[in-house]
Amino acid sequence: MNVLLVRAHPLEDSFNGALLARTQAGLQRAGHAIDLLDLYADDFDPRLRAEERRTYADAAAVPAEIRPYADRLLAADALVLVFPVWCFGVPAILKGFFDRVLRPGVAFVYENNVVRPRLANIRKLAAVTTYGRPRWMIWYVGDLPRRQVTRYVRWFCHPSARAEYLAHYHMNASTPASRGAYLDKVERRMAAF
């Protein structure tokens, strides 16, 4: 399976960097081909510009700078997102990726005033993430990142696509043991992906 692995974190030497490495290791163990898209390393611009917004509904008007990202998404069989949760949301660069790449002509089309998903090529979806706060607090504020992945992004995918969401909560109080256990879990789950 061809997996588009999208990372949204600026630091290579962070815990998120370790998560990326273990995610890749698990996917490689399963024999998947990995197309790594590191949004920060790629200097992805998350800003939706005025002209881009004006032509947003035109499926033929995908901006030239977005087309390579769209092509990579359309060539994938699976999508795996590796990101931290900051301020109870996905990083701005990942939100910008959703805003700019999951657009008409790429992720969906308008047909007779009805929006229809277009990413039937994506049959598996997963997120690997960390939260600074405890799970009860995330639940209290609504856990938007989980819903963005398991409902919003998943909606564009193949109707039978499953969304797996792996999260480590309360990183601010985590221990080497809890982080190690999470890294092991991520690699195991990706090896079974």
- The average pLDDT across 165-187 equals 97
- The average pLDDT across 174-180 equals 96
| Residue 20: both structure tokens together | 């990326």
When the pLDDT of each residue in the chain is averaged and rounded to a whole number, the result is 96
Give the model's confidence band at 10: pLDDT under 50 very low, under 70 low, under 90 confident, else very high: very high
- Report d(CA 136, CA 150) in Å as an integer: 19
Q: pTM for this structure?
A: 0.96
Q: Helix H segments across 116-192?
A: 135-141, 144-147, 154-156, 176-191
Angle at the Cα of 161 from the Cα atoms of 158 and 163, rounded to 5 degrees: 135
